[in-house]
Chains A and B, each alone.
Chain A
Amino acid sequence: MSETIFNPSVIEMRGADVGAMRDVTLTVVADVNWSVQTGEFWVVAGQQLSGKSDLLMLAAGLMTPQRGSCRVFGSDTEAFGEAQIAERLRVGFVFAGGQLFNPLTVAENVALPLRYQKNLSAEEAASVVEALLEMLELTPFANFLPANLAANWRQRAALARALVLKPELLLLDNPLARLGGRHRQWLLQFLDQLWRGHEWFGGRPMTLVATTDDLRPWRDAKKKFAVLHEKSFAVVGFWDDLALAPSHAVKELLAEPAGTTM
């Protein structure tokens, strides 16, 4: 008799209807069946307004499904309240625009979750924050307000803020959309390091889910892909399966936009 080990999926959606964050009565994606296992790297692609951000918000437990179920680390997001704060903190979220807190400097933004969750003074949190800022090359901008930062660095500061509590699952909403070429390359390499196990996290591999409206930069044989199109969610598989996918939506997401170069 073989011994079975209970290892729940990191994200498990069953028949989930995703509502819009701005209007909960609106269904943006219907009947999502999706399972994300520990250590996987998923890229969810979809055109603008296809519901990528809302799907990610649901996966982060910031929304509840209109129908069906969504479980994160085995906990139903319907019940994600104060009692499940430990589960919530296992998930890091990087918003599309960064969503940094405008009155706080970059260092204060990064320190806030750590200070709030562990009741630390600014001085007590300083060493961790400085190390993280240095790792993400943000040290020169530590005392900048978000309004004075370029979008590239704002995005990186948001990533630092999401990582400061050392999450096990990192969700990134269209992280490449506002980045220039150099920052894109840096971010893709850094996410790969996180996925394989970064030394800052003790070498523990991280589970990642990123959304995108352009599949080409995410080319990798080991990443998994899913597509959002006309309110439906479809798991495509690995990169090689994308090329074979008959879907017109996939072809659009792989095509080079007219008048642009990579």
Chain B
Amino acid sequence: MLYAAVVRGNLAKAFELANTQMFRRAPLPKSYTDFLGHKLFLFLLTVEGLGAFALITLGVILKKSGVARSVIRPRIRQEISRAGVALLPMFLFVALALGFLVIGQTVSALARVGATSYLGTTMVFVIVRELGPLLAAVLVLARVGTAHVIELGTARALGEVEALEALGIDPVHYLIVPRVIGMALGIFALTIYLILGALGSGYLWAFLQDVPLTPGDYFRQIAESLSWLDFALLALKTTAFGFFIAVVTCYHGLAQPLRLEDVSRVAVRAVTQGVIVCVLVDAVFIVLYLVT
């Protein structure tokens, strides 16, 4: 009996140990893994949906470039105006502020090591390659991307998309293509203005801080720091920002049936995903810079 009790006790300990080890091997409790799995599947489905939507949009842009030009072209001009021209005053203000911020911090840092002659070079690294395009993209996302989701979500909820289909009008061609082209060109143009404004205001602030740098030296430094690759990648990057922001915001507004009360929730989700997409696109271009 005693022997049996000892064996039972040892077995119980062994099982307990084995169970504990098994438990320790599992990274998280089941409810946690279920939650993470659910989120992962949702993420993968969103990526799949966005990818398909982007390809469909690209296909329509290429295939229907000559269809209904008299309707689509004015809509593209309208979208360029909305995602570009209308935002110009705000971008000029941001350009002034950006030049001030970067120069203010840079001058104090470079002055400590006596390297203020690298001011122009620093501006190219910080503003031309990174902050300018990213800031322009995020500002356009906030101002215009949100409006896209709300407009398209409301149109979907009110059955206007079905009405387009009933009239033989491709909703992607009529609603999405002008927004994508308008936003891509709008962000490209605004980034150029933002960079030019920030470089100009940068010198202004440097001058006000008594940095011993002539305008000629400052702009020569900038010109020497720029290569053809900067121009090519800047154009590609800003166009990619515009394309992907428009795709994300239009996808959330249009790709699924919505009720009116869903629109605000979807708008928040679209803006969050838009920011994530911008950061991912930026990361790809950083790798490209590093590789080349």
Contacts and interface: CB of A to CB of B under 8 A. Distances in A.
A115 B155 contact: no
A99 B163 CA distance: 6
A47 to B, nearest CB: 21
B163 A22 contact: no
Interface residues of A, number: 30
Contacts of A112: 71, 167, 169
Interface string B123-165: 0000000000000000000000000000100110011101111
Given A22-B257, A99-B160, A60 B68 contact: no
Contact of A115 (B71, B158, B168): B71
Task: Kindly name the residue among B68, B151, B164, B166 whose own CB sees the greatest number of chain A CB atoms within 10 A.
Answer: B166
Nearest to B174: A116
Contacts, number: 67
Given A115-B71, A116-B169, A62 B158 contact: no
B21 interface: no
A101 interface: yes
A153 interface: no
Given A22-B257, A89-B168, A102-B155, A116 B162 contact: no
B168 A95 contact: no
Interface string A84-111: 0100110101010101111100000000
A146 to B, nearest CB: 10
A121 B166 CA distance: 21
Nearest to A86: B168
Contacts of A88: 168
A117 interface: yes
A62 B166 contact: yes
B174 to A, nearest CB: 7
A57 interface: yes
B159 to A, nearest CB: 5
Contacts of A102: 154-155, 158, 160
B69 interface: yes
A102 B164 CA distance: 12
B259 to A, nearest CB: 9
A89 B168 CA distance: 6
B105 interface: no
Contacts of A162: 166
B76 to A, nearest CB: 14
B70 interface: yes
Interface string B68-106: 111100000000000000000000000000000000000
Contact of B158 (A82, A99, A116, A121): A99
A60 B166 contact: yes
A117 B168 contact: yes
A95 B163 contact: yes
B159 A97 contact: yes
Contacts of B165: 62
Interface string B264-283: 00000000000000000000
B78 to A, nearest CB: 10
Interface string A44-63: 00000000000001001010
Contacts of A120: 70
A112 B166 CA distance: 12
B162 A57 contact: yes
A99 B168 contact: no
Nearest to A84: B168
Given A113-B168, A117-B169, A165-B167, 9 more contacts: A21-B162, A22-B257, A85-B168, A93-B166, A97-B158, A99-B160, A101-B164, A102-B158, A116-B168
26 contacts: A21-B162, A57-B162, A60-B166, A62-B162, A62-B165, A85-B168, A91-B166, A95-B166, A99-B159, A99-B160, A99-B163, A100-B160, A100-B163, A101-B163, A103-B151, A112-B71, A112-B169, A113-B168, A113-B169, A115-B70, A115-B71, A116-B68, A116-B167, A119-B70, A119-B71, A165-B168
